[in-house]
Structure 1
Amino acid sequence: MKVAATTLGETAGDLFAQTLGLGYFVTTIALFLVFVVTLTVQLRSRHYNPFFYWTVILSTSMAGTTMSDFMNRDAGAKYLSGGATSLGRGPQGLGLGYPEGAAILVSVLLAIFLAWKLSGMTFQIRDIVTFRGEALFWSAILVSNTLGTSMGDFLSDSSGLGYLGGALFVAGLLAVLVALMKVPAVPNVLLFWIAFVLTRPLGATAGDFLTKPHAKGGLDLGTAGSSAVLLAALFGLMAHAQIQERRSALPA
């Protein structure tokens, strides 16, 4: 579900910012507002609801995509396609570059975890029941998804691995984390957060592989069609999770 949400976040973010020509800045503002709305619904819910929870995950993935692009990219020719002359409406990208952007985001994410640690609240997500705890949790999710986008774009654009190679590389790292779950000395909470960050570059590289043109190593399926298929898959998984949640709540 997380990979589906992050891949959809990549394709949908690109759909609004690039295909529809809204640009990174305008799209980031709009998607951040969507994140605030979905988070408000989640925080007001007294019980776990898969639709509410995964809608926030999706909104952080979409907002993280355009936030990362706005931070790292500029109006240079290498970021434009199809004869475009700008990155869309409003201000263009800041042009920090992937290493600098990732360094900033890593610092912010570590600051959130430090504040979380000093607060004395648990990192076990099933035990987060306070508003303050959820605020720290969702802040970490938003920043981690933005960081993951930067990592995925670096693997796709600058590492030489390409879209498919980058996706396979991250999938290999996730497989290592699965193996480490069997090692008692490695905390599962640590593995969870590393995996949570890594699923975002997996979604970023997989999303680009689906949508980018053949000349760039993609399948050229388009952002609209890919997003529609991924949205249907994610809603199907959310519906399944909702059914499982209701069954588990029934008395024996």
Structure 2
Amino acid sequence: MSATTTPQGIHRGQAGSAGPFRSKVPQVTAVFWVVKILTTGMGETTSDYLARVLGPVPAVASAGLLLAVALAAQARARRYVPAVYWTAVVMVSVFGTMAADVAHVALGVPYAVSAAAFALALAVVFGLWRQLEGTLAVESVSGGRREVLYWTAVMATFALGTAVGDLTAATLGWGYLPSGLLFAAMIVVPALAHRLLGASPVLTFWWAYVLTRPLGACFADWAGVDAHRGGLDLGTGPVSLALGVVIVGLVLRLSVDDRRGQERPAPVTA
């Protein structure tokens, strides 16, 4: 048996030969990480844009409804379908941003407190997932309870990452660009930890996964916000649109790749 390692040195766990296996999540490749980071940026700027255009309450309600529809479509899918999966990720990104922002703006919860709360929530989800399923390896997600736990964890990572990014950029006053560069440096650490120190591939995957959120969000904010906030003042709407176009193009590529080989061997998770 051998593990499949991504170009970043982060791999998704071990694969065995227990027969055909239809996973409902994508293989972790370089394109996966690129799309994931872009969705975090799009979620950040789209959330801000919708809150400004529609108002906070209608924006949250609309995002929540679209998220429910996207997750329902993902749940009904019998295997990984790139367009369905990444639509769900985008909506989790948008709604996760709103969840963290509502906690701060509407309820007055400091980002440090909300970040700690979301980190605790994520730890609880991971603990429950591990206890019930015996593994946190994402390639084992093929539906049912594991898929529910997977998406719950994904939502928690987005909310956590949003709070952490806003904590460094706003509360600590480091600004969006310096914060983005910080997280860009930090996301290399799990790859090096796996490659050089033999750290768990599951641990390093989720470690990097959490960091993609503040990384993408900080750079997107930097591009979208005005100069008084240290940004390029391109506007949250145009930034969201540009990111959306790139994401669609990459997802189309993933769809082509997916049609070339749909079945993967079942993972060994012991």
Is this a same-fold pair by TM over 0.5?
yes
The corresponding residue for 2:227 is 214
User: What does residue 266 of structure 2 align with?
Assistant: none
Match of 2:175 among 138, 148, 162: 162
Instruction: Identify the match of residue 69 of structure 2 among 30, 37, 60.
Output: 37
Letter in 2 for 1:170: F
Corresponding position of 1:138: 151
Aligned to 1:171: 184
In 1, Cα distance between the equivalents of 2:115 and 2:262?
41
Equivalent in 229, 233, 241 of residue 246 of structure 2: 233
- Matched residues in 1 for 2:131 and 2:262: separation? 34
Q: Match for residue 79 of structure 1?
A: none
8 Å Cα contact 1:98/1:150 also seen in 2: yes
Partner of 1:22: 55
| 1:202 matched residue in structure 2 | 215
Residue in 2 aligned with 1:108? 121
Larger mean CA deviation between 182-191 and 229-238 belongs to: 182-191
CA offsets 1:103-156 (integer angstroms, 9 cap, x no match)? 211111111111111103431111111311000000010111011000111111
1:5 corresponds, among 34, 39, 42, to: 39
Per-residue deviation, 1:32 = 1.9
1:21: Cα distance to partner?
4.5
- The corresponding residue for 1:126 is 139
Does the CA contact (< 8 Å) of 1:121 and 1:133 recur in 2? no
**Quick check: 1:163–1:217 contact (8 Å CA) kept in 2?**
yes
Please list every run of 5 or more consecutive structure 2 residues that lacks an aligned counterpart in the other structure: 1-34, 264-270
Normalized against structure 1, the TM-score is what? 0.87
Aligned to 2:94: 62
Partner of 1:80: none
**What is the count of residue pairs matched by the alignment?**
229
Measured in 2, the distance between the counterparts of 1:218 and 1:186 equals 37
Superposed CA RMSD = 1.4
Output the CA distance in 1 between the equivalents of 2:242 and 2:147.
30
Contact 1:5 1:61 in 2 (8 A): yes
Choose from 71, 89, 110 the match for 2:103.
Answer: 71
Q: What secondary structure, in the 3-state scheme, does the structure 2 residue paired with 1:194 have?
A: helix
Q: Quick one: which amino acid aligns to residue 205 of structure 2?
A: F
**What secondary structure, in the 3-state scheme, does the structure 2 residue paired with 1:183 have?**
helix
TM-score norm. by structure 2 comes to 0.81
State the shift of 1:248 in Å: 2.4
Aligned match of 2:206: 193
Aligned equivalents of 2:58, 2:164: Cα separation in 1: 22
Unmatched 5+ residue regions in structure 1? 74-92
Higher strand share: 2
Segments ≥4 residues shifted beyond 3 Å: none
- Distance, in Å, in 2 between the alignment partners of 1:242 and 1:121 is 31
- Confirm whether residue 152 of structure 1 aligns to residue 165 of structure 2: yes
Identity %: 33
SS in 2 for 1:160: coil
Match of 2:81 among 49, 64, 74: 49
